[in-house]
Amino acid sequence: MNPEEQLIQQRIEKIRQIREMGINPYPYKFNQKNHSSEILEKFRGLKSHEQTKEKVSMAGRIMTIRLMGKASFLHLQDETGKIQVYLRQDDIGEKSYNLFKKFDIGDIMGVEGLVFKTKAGEISIWAKKIELLSKSIRPLPEKWHGLKDTEIRYRKRYLDLISNPGVKETFILRSKIINSIRNFLKNKEYLEVETPILQPIYGGGFAKPFITHHNKLKMKMYLRISNEMYLKRLIVGGFEKVFEFSQDFRNESIDTTHNPEFLAIEMMTAYVDYFYGMDLLEDLMIHVCNEVLGTTKVKYQEKIYDLSKWNRLTMVDSIKKYLKIDVEGMDANELKNFAIKRKIKLVGMRKGELINSIFEGLVQPELAQPTIIYDYPVEVSPLARECKNKEGYTERFEMFIHGVEYGNNYTELTDPKVIEKRFKEELKRGEEGDEEAHPMDKDFVEAMEYGMPPTCGTAIGMDRFIMLLTDSSSIRDVILFPTLKKLIFHEKF
């Protein structure tokens, strides 16, 4: 039996002994009235040895224990922080103190008592009553001094939250960022909506979907890769400003900026074009930074980015600026040779696809400061509207910070015949083996035939945006339960 198994057996024996004492080690409730941070803030002005007459009642997990005969110290950690507790047998009674001796680090307990400040200057609770709220069986990892193993941190997030208090702050900030965006849009009279996650036809982006089967309907279905196609249907139906926090799924690789399940915010606005969308997203990011961080200057990976200052470049101009070449004056063969020479991964051989590959391979990594790149080739933008005076390009833009893309946006294509033509082109690509080609969606084309007003669609990859604002180097650090390889368990249950 290894040391951990021995500890587990010892704790199971303690549970048996506690039950013999007539005490339930897993009670139904506790009258929690206070949190550690509230107590520490309220009584921070106490003098050493000063004790209040105000009774407090809090609960949390035991993180340290110091047994000293008939008096002991421990630290309790709750949702808001950690506080010291002082116990004496004379105060809580012999039975309760004997119960306390069976407590372990990791147990959850409740305490009622008076607040005082120790000689060392630490605000503490002088216990008058204690209660066991949950007896832990497994010991906390690495003697509870901070869980370091990255794989375990992601796989067992509950231990990560217990052992690393800063992790909890990241997810509190995540919630504040989402709420800030929601309030920003509602103040601009956007309506929040919900659209299907399980879809008969996936669409709204280039991605390989997750496929499932509906038994009753006897049909193949897909987890959505985007909610875009349904939001457009709502614009057709008469809504003018809608948004949705969309949990999307893409059957793709996993790396520091990609997780198969991710959160996006998608907005549709009628009667505007992509320049409105650029202004909207800039304003949104400025608002969130100011409200959540108190500044638009964000520190990320030791660099400072000011989200109140955005550069704007067309894709062609960005290539001219960073690579000193004019891709518009080059034919497909010249572009291909250039890309091969620079060892760029190619996705498609049409001219627009080659231009996009060159941009993504060589220019995007250089876009450190906040930058909007607009006017994308039509070949890589099947649902975007073509530029008014620029043949072969569309009114599409993406936002980049630290070389990372934060959202795909464009003036929506509203001509149903052109949409159908684009779908057919994508269908051909799919027949040629492109697993990320956009499928034909006849119902969507039919909806568009009823008429859709001029519209701009805008989106932000929420997990990446949260990474930026929390200075997190991996997307797994901002997703509570990221997708991980399944472990194989050999135990028999």
Q: Where are the domains of the chain?
A: 3-139, 165-310+370-477
The pair of structure tokens assigned to 464 is 């990446």
Q: What is the pLDDT along the chain (493 residues), one digit of tens a residue?
A: 788 899 999 999 999 999 999 999 999 999 999 999 999 999 999 998 889 988 999 999 999 999 988 999 999 999 999 999 999 999 999 999 999 999 999 999 999 999 999 999 999 999 999 999 999 999 988 654 556 678 888 999 999 999 888 899 999 999 999 999 999 999 999 999 999 999 999 988 778 999 999 999 999 999 999 999 999 999 999 999 999 999 999 998 899 999 999 999 999 999 999 999 999 999 999 999 999 999 999 999 999 999 999 999 999 999 999 999 999 999 999 999 999 999 999 988 999 999 999 999 999 999 999 999 999 999 999 889 999 989 999 999 999 999 999 999 999 999 999 999 988 888 887 777 777 777 888 999 999 999 999 999 999 999 999 999 999 999 999 999 999 988 765 454 3
State the Cα–Cα distance between residues 38 and 40, nearest whole angstrom: 6
Q: Are the C-beta atoms of 92 and 28 separated by less than 8 Å? A: no
Type of residue at 196:
P
State the Cα–Cα distance between residues 60 and 79, nearest whole angstrom: 8
State the Cα–Cα distance between residues 353 and 282, nearest whole angstrom: 28
- Helix (H) / strand (E) containing 74: strand 71-77
State the Cα–Cα distance between residues 238 and 455, nearest whole angstrom: 12
Q: Is 253 helix (H, G, I), strand (E, B) or coil?
A: coil
State the Cα–Cα distance between residues 376 and 392, nearest whole angstrom: 9
**Roughly how many angstroms between the first and final C-alpha of the chain, as a whole number?**
19
State the Cα–Cα distance between residues 371 and 415, nearest whole angstrom: 30
Topology (CATH) of 3-139: OB fold (Dihydrolipoamide Acetyltransferase, E2P) (2.40.50)
State the Cα–Cα distance between residues 124 and 51, nearest whole angstrom: 10
Type of residue at 287:
H
Residue 204 CB partners (closer than 8 Å, separation 6+): 224, 225, 226, 227, 228, 229, 383
Whole-prediction pTM: 0.91
Q: Please report how the helices 274-288 and 165-187 are oriented relative to each other, as an axis angle in degrees rounded to 10.
A: 140
The pair of structure tokens assigned to 73 is 């110290």
Residue located via tokens 């969606």: 441
Q: What is the largest CA-CA distance in the chain?
A: 90
- Region of 43 on the Ramachandran plot (φ > 0 left; ψ -120 to 50 alpha; else beta): alpha
Which of 297, 337, 209, 194 is CA-nearest to residue 261? 209
Q: Are the C-beta atoms of 475 and 261 separated by less than 8 Å? A: no
Topology (CATH) of 165-310+370-477: BirA Bifunctional Protein; domain 2 (3.30.930)
The per-residue pLDDT for range 442-485, each reduced to its tens digit, is: 999 999 999 999 999 999 999 999 999 999 999 999 999 999 98
